[in-house]
């Protein structure tokens, strides 16, 4: 029998795509207001509809096409934080893409970011959630577009915008094509994370580490096929942003019990837990915890430890980190 995990357990979520966390009802409402017909991306029950990962990217972009103005992103932020509050999330980081917010133009991006930051402040007040932003380059948009994305990040880094990363189709391009963007962000003091090892195999994790030198890896789970790499992750304290439900839903692994997160943890890799694009994968963080508790007999103590690790790996200032750790460890 697995232990029942309290749904209200305070949680830290580090790997969440902003548009990918958009509740379908919110996107449907926005499409209606703007007279956009995107009905084909929804199933009859109102969820997002798609066949596989590559179709998912298409549907994702169609959903994103409804998000056009800074005001839209402000409202999206509140909708996303409301969902996080339901999951007991107390601290979250979200991937933001200047490609979707002003097309990579710095002054346009500034307006979008300002609108999101204002909503984050409301979210802090109303839901008690601290939100930080990570600018991500979109890998399948190509290396050229990663440069303005990095410049947007550098120009707007601050209390809210604290990181830089890369997401998108791992089969396109090589990490070495994005070193300019990562070096630029690193030199400006931004914290770094890179998607790798979701689809690309262990080698993609190794390449991301070698060329982009991130402190966290998005997914990274396929590192499990190369134990020397697993040991390197553990020794170098590289943090994995693991999203088990996303991997199972997209068929990277057939089931939760078959997912390598438990083995990675046993080999002392620092793992954290997130939902990636939750409404697209029909998941919530509460559901993830339930499924993991069942698959690996993880207890509430395991989840507290994982959340404490996530707080320590957060891209925020020391005072925020301490405050979040106190909440997680039940001292606040």
Active site residues: 198
Which residues are within 8 A (CB) of 44 and not within 5 positions of it... i.e. 6 or more apart?
none
Say whether 331 sits in a helix, a strand or coil. coil
The b/e string for 85-109 (b: 16+ C-beta within 10 A; e otherwise) is eebbbbbbbbbbbbbbbbebeeeeb
The distance of closest approach from Cβ of residue 123 to Zn ion in the complex, given in angstroms and rounded to an integer, is: 21
Token pair for 260: 């390598």
Beta carbon of residue 137, minimum distance to Zn ion (angstroms, whole number)? 13
Q: Which H or E run includes 207? A: helix 201-212
For β-strands 130-138 and 191-196, DSSP reports them as unpaired
With CA atoms as reference, report the closest residue to 184 among 210, 146, 216, 218. 146
Q: Which tokens hold the place of 37? A: 């017909």
Nearer to Zn ion, 99 or 276 (CB): 276
Is 152 within 8 Å of 98 (Cβ atoms)?
Answer: yes
* Beta bridge mates, 11: 89
C-beta pairs of 66-69 under 8 Å, 24+ apart in sequence = 66/27, 66/30, 66/31, 66/34, 66/36, 66/38, 67/19, 67/22, 67/30, 67/100, 68/34
The neighbour count for residue 292, using CB atoms within 10 Å, is: 25
Of 31 and 134, CB closest to Zn ion: 134
Q: How far is the CB of 218 from Zn ion (least distance, A)?
A: 5
Q: Measured between alpha carbons, how far apart are the two ends of the chain, in Å?
A: 31
Question: Could you tell me the smallest distance in angstroms from the CB atom of residue 118 to Zn ion?
Answer: 25
Is 132 in contact with 93 (CB distance < 8 Å)? yes
Residue 85 Cβ vs Zn ion, minimum distance, rounded to whole Å: 21
The helix (run of H) or strand (run of E) holding residue 161 is: strand 161-167
Output the smallest distance, CB 1 to Zn ion, in A.
Answer: 33
Q: Which residue is nearest to Zn ion (CB)?
A: 276
Nearer to Zn ion, 19 or 276 (CB): 276
- Residue number with CB closer to Zn ion (31 or 240): 240
Of residues 5 and 97, the one with the C-beta less far from Zn ion: 97
Q: Which residues bind Zn ion (CB under 5 A)?
A: 276
């Amino acid at each position: 029998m697995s232990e029942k995990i309290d749904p209200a357990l305070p949680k830290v979520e580090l790997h969440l795509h902003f548009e990918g966390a958009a509740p379908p009802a919110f996107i449907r409402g926005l499409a209606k207001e703007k007279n956009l017909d995107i009905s084909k991306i929804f199933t009859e029950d109102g969820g997002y509809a798609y066949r596989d990962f590559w179709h998912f990217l298409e549907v994702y972009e169609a959903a994103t096409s409804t998000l056009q103005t800074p005001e839209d992103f402000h409202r999206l932020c509140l909708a996303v934080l409301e969902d996080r509050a339901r999951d007991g999330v107390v601290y979250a980081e979200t991937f933001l893409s200047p490609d979707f917010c002003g097309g990579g133009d710095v002054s346009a991006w500034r307006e979008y970011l300002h609108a999101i930051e204002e909503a984050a402040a409301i979210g802090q007040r109303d839901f008690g959630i601290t939100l930080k932003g990570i600018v991500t380059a979109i890998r399948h948009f190509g290396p050229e577009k990663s440069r303005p994305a990095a410049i947007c990040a550098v120009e707007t880094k601050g209390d809210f915008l604290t990181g830089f990363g890369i997401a998108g189709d791992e089969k396109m391009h090589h990490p070495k094509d994005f070193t300019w963007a990562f070096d630029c962000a690193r030199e400006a003091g931004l914290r770094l994370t890179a998607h790798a090892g979701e689809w690309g195999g262990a080698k993609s994790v190794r390449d991301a580490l070698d060329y982009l030198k991130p402190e966290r890896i998005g997914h990274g789970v396929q590192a499990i096929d190369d134990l020397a790499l697993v040991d390197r992750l553990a020794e170098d304290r590289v943090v994995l942003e693991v999203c088990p439900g996303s991997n199972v839903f997209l068929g990277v692994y057939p089931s939760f019990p078959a997912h390598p997160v438990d083995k990675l943890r046993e080999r002392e890799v620092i793992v954290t837990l997130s939902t990636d694009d939750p409404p697209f994968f029909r998941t919530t963080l509460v559901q993830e915890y339930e499924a993991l508790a069942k698959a690996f007999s993880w207890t509430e103590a395991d989840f507290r430890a994982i959340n404490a690790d996530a707080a320590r790996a957060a891209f925020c200032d020391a005072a925020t980190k301490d405050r979040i750790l106190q909440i997680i460890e039940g001292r606040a």
